[in-house]
């Protein structure tokens, strides 16, 4: 099902499914030990999956870009017009989930937890803003 066909509630539910899948990846395969996930392959996979969920929700909320691909600056620009606090949350999610986890494979459990919490804040924000 294409994202344009989804209702806001369905898009938020789907974005939360991404986040749930990311948590499952780490729980099942991350090999957590002494506060760190030991397998960077699964940390990277989980970070990418969770970040994709955030983008899925934001894509549904903001709609299509007129031309070219969406980049992090496009999301920042749209969020800066809507909600400065959410912009800061998005920047944090970008850094934690996309850069630190998905690219670098850093498996500090506290960093992972914070990234997931902030991802959920953005997804919930999309649900609330779209319902209003």
Q: What is the pTM of this model?
A: 0.92
Nearest Cα to 94, choosing from 56, 46, 50? 50
Half-sphere CA count of 53, side-chain side, radius 13 A: 30
In sequence order, what E strands does 24-95 have? 32-33, 36-37
- What's the mean pLDDT in 63-80? 89
**pLDDT over 90 at 6, yes or no:** no
- What's the mean pLDDT in 42-65? 94
Q: Scanning the structure block, which residue is given the tokens 């030990």?
A: 33
- What's the mean pLDDT in 95-122? 97
Q: What is the pLDDT of residue 1?
A: 42
Residue 64 φ/ψ, nearest 5 degrees:
-80, 150
What mean pLDDT is reported for the chain? 93
**pLDDT over 60 at 3, yes or no:** no
Q: What is the pLDDT of residue 14?
A: 97
3-state helix, strand, coil in the chain (%, to 5): 75, 5, 20
- What's the mean pLDDT in 78-102? 97
- Residue 9's contacts (CB-CB under 8 Å, 6 or more residues apart) are 127
């Amino acid at each position: 099902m294409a994202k344009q066909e989804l209702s806001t509630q369905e898009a938020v539910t789907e974005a939360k499914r991404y986040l749930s899948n990311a948590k499952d990846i780490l729980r099942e395969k991350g090999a957590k030990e002494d506060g760190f996930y030991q397998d960077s392959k699964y940390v990277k996979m989980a970070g990418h999956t969770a970040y994709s969920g955030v983008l899925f929700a934001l894509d549904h909320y903001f709609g299509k870009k007129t031309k070219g691909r969406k980049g992090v600056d496009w999301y920042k620009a749209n969020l800066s017009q809507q909600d400065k606090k959410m912009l800061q949350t998005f920047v944090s999610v970008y850094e934690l989930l996309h850069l630190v986890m998905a690219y670098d494979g850093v498996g500090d459990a506290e960093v992972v937890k914070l990234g997931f919490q902030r991802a959920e804040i953005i997804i919930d924000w999309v649900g609330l803003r779209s319902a209003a």
